[in-house]
Structure 1
């Protein structure tokens, strides 16, 4: 319960400011995304050894406290910049804030789940990680609702103060959880993990599971970033002011997170317990194949859904992200309970930060290049079908990688064997 509540506040904090960053990318369109993602990738590479050094030298509680406190202070520092957005310019402020919010999202969320993998074994993870993720999904729904309510009343800049408060509450809960776990017999929370600050990069080449995770991250990122780039062009074409773009992206987040919550309440937990975490990787990849094939056949435009005209690109974005957050993410984090502690923090962090943003740079550059060659929505979606097919093949290997430790308390019914 404490873990779910802590993740609720983490995601509330992020989803309050996510549309604030997205409205900046929506202001300039997809042509600037390669610049944004390229800057993020460079920053991630520079931060990887710094994070590895912190993990190697400091106990878990200090690592959590210092990392989260840094981002809280940054949120406060951005308030005056957003009050002067018109004078600074959307492109200039957009690059800086987009880089920062990407680092914020990846490091804060990745560190949270590294901590969860440290205090739960694999059997417990399969039972509770979808519920903890559901707490985060609650925050991901609550955050957009708060933004929708407050952005019209107080404007954009003060939202950063609300986000900082939510992240502070999360930090307090995580420190309490760490203190409770440290009192248990056999806990290693008060010990620094040690090892090399470059271990996250080195293990990518030496551990098959991490290689699969890196490939799966790249392929999944390809699909997600393709959807994001197409939606950014749609937002630029249809919304002309900051508040309207923020509200549009906020509605996308709300719909995505409602779908993710529905999956976690209905299918994800059952699938992880009965059939294993590997199927939580494979099924979303198969869903993406079918979804993108449909977009390739139908193309762009609007669909009539429950009496509302819904942009097809927005629907694609909602479904792909909903399955990524509602099923793939809990499955991935459950698998990380079956690797050594150093891999849980350093290797996992490197895959979920630097590798992820490398994929962003490649995909956004490829989308811009293909659009320059005259490719439309149908052609890009067809390319996405190929990427989703590769993701399904890698997911099958990752979920049953030979270097994973044996699964603890495996269920008797629904033996978790790899599919033929």
Structure 2
């Protein structure tokens, strides 16, 4: 459908777009409230133990995605999306109870090395407490005071559980939102509207980070869970409104509300099979894997620097990490307006993913020569900002012309299992590398190799998308879910 001459959205499309923006805002704003908590609590276990958590996260995502694939294959979207969202809300209530009454979160906490040694069977340390810091950064002297072993073990277990849950929530909630959007909009609409809808997430991230920074000193870290609950629940209302009223261009048959009749009973491994039989999904899986592999390697360096320079105050670490995410979203707002809009005008916008690739290559080279907290923080801010504003919108375009199985189950597998597989493999490499070499330029070289491979994968993905784009543009219709 061509855009109207006055460049205004059709009435039905306009209302759905506004509610979609609000939906994305609710999801991302709530996530950016609980995300800094995850970062600060994870550092309680020691930055050297975070790779182990990422490995467990990868394993848990395999199980979580299997359950998600089964649910999606059995129920319609107006049933499973609200159900999963309410499940997340109940989990947040549980974490508020845990971190308020079971292990209250205070300002000063026990040193990470003490926690690791007290619960070595739960999370085995992968480095000595006093191993050399990264590139000249002094190590943090640890206290001789040891917490009670039983209490420390419970604390390690609960913090680890929360870390794994946030990783699952982050991937599943966002992936589910975009799968829904890809089911509602056509290819032509996606190119016009995804940059606009993306503002909901960017403003949500900025608001969530600001709320966390402003409120954590007044209400404490644990009460931020209540804030996240209040922000997340309205997303259910937004989803139901879009499902009941979503706009279709004239002449397009609305098939989305019809019951799904799969060719076979739903299976937990349908997401994996959907990826394996589709070349473009294989490329998307490789691109996502290499992105998360390099991100985890780079982010581990930031964790070490935060731990070394800030210390053990949970509120200070939460505030600092929230500040980073706040800057990410400020930069994202500008990138969304200038960069994303320009790339969407290209005949094949998927080539725009090369911009993120080149920035990571350049940023890694800079880190090799100046590995300070300021430099590493700003490289991460720029790269993540472009990924949230431009990279996310470009990746979602790939899924629009695909069938329902690819949109929900295949995409869900890529966004969760493959995403965490990149985390997991990079974490295994970090565990082995830190055991022999400590922190150093070998991490940067590993990132560069991954980025060179990703460069080729992006070009291949853009070529496959271009082949699908021609028939999609010719028909100028929204894709119909597989029956």
User: What is the TM-score when the length of structure 1 is the normalising length?
Assistant: 0.90
The separation in 1 between residues aligned to 2:46 and 2:78, in whole angstroms, is 41
> Residue 372 in 1 paired to residue 440 in 2?
no
| Superimposed CA distance per residue, residues 302-349 of structure 1 (whole angstroms, 9 cap, x where no aligned partner) | 5xxxxxxxx222122212211221211110001110211110000000
**Partner of 1:272 in structure 2?**
344
The structure in which a higher percent of residues are helix is: 1
The separation in 2 between residues aligned to 1:402 and 1:68, in whole angstroms, is 31
**Partner of 1:180 in structure 2?**
245
**Which 10-residue stretch deviates more, 35-44 or 14-23?**
35-44
Correspondence 1:3-402 to 2 at 5 A? 3-83=20-100, 84-85=102-103, 90-181=155-246, 185-192=253-260, 194-195=262-263, 196-197=266-267, 198-239=269-310, 240-296=312-368, 298-301=369-372, 311-374=374-437, 376-401=439-464
The separation in 1 between residues aligned to 2:349 and 2:440, in whole angstroms, is 33
| Superimposed CA distance per residue, residues 137-172 of structure 1 (whole angstroms, 9 cap, x where no aligned partner) | 100000011111111111111111111111111111
The separation in 2 between residues aligned to 1:175 and 1:234, in whole angstroms, is 44
**Partner of 1:414 in structure 2?**
none
Cα contact 1:339–1:404 (8 A) shared by 2: no
RMSD: 2.0
The separation in 2 between residues aligned to 1:156 and 1:388, in whole angstroms, is 36
| Superimposed CA distance per residue, residues 120-153 of structure 1 (whole angstroms, 9 cap, x where no aligned partner) | 1111111111211121010000001111111111
Go from structure 1 to structure 2 and tell me whether the alpha carbon gap of 1:237 and 1:385 turns closer, same or farther (over 3 Å shift). Answer: same
Give the structure with higher Rg (CA): 2
Deviation >4 Å, runs of 4+ = 86-90, 182-185, 407-410
CA displacement at 1:53 relative to structure 2? 1.6
**Partner of 2:9 in structure 1?**
none
The separation in 1 between residues aligned to 2:439 and 2:231, in whole angstroms, is 41
Secondary structure at 1:228's aligned position in 2?
helix
**Which 10-residue stretch deviates more, 392-401 or 177-186?**
177-186
Runs of 5+ in structure 1 lacking a partner? 303-310, 411-420
Cα contact 1:268–1:327 (8 A) shared by 2: yes
Secondary structure at 2:256's aligned position in 1?
coil
Cα contact 2:172–2:412 (8 A) shared by 1: yes
Cα contact 1:277–1:332 (8 A) shared by 2: no
Secondary structure at 2:469's aligned position in 1?
coil
Cα contact 1:55–1:194 (8 A) shared by 2: no
User: What is the TM-score when the length of structure 2 is the normalising length?
Assistant: 0.79
Tell me the matched-pair count: 401
Go from structure 1 to structure 2 and tell me whether the alpha carbon gap of 1:339 and 1:22 turns closer, same or farther (over 3 Å shift). Answer: same
Secondary structure at 1:114's aligned position in 2?
helix
Runs of 5+ in structure 2 lacking a partner? 1-17, 105-150, 475-483
| Superimposed CA distance per residue, residues 240-284 of structure 1 (whole angstroms, 9 cap, x where no aligned partner) | 210011011101111111122211111112211234331222221
The separation in 2 between residues aligned to 1:130 and 1:402, in whole angstroms, is 19
The separation in 1 between residues aligned to 2:95 and 2:338, in whole angstroms, is 39
CA displacement at 1:379 relative to structure 2? 2.9
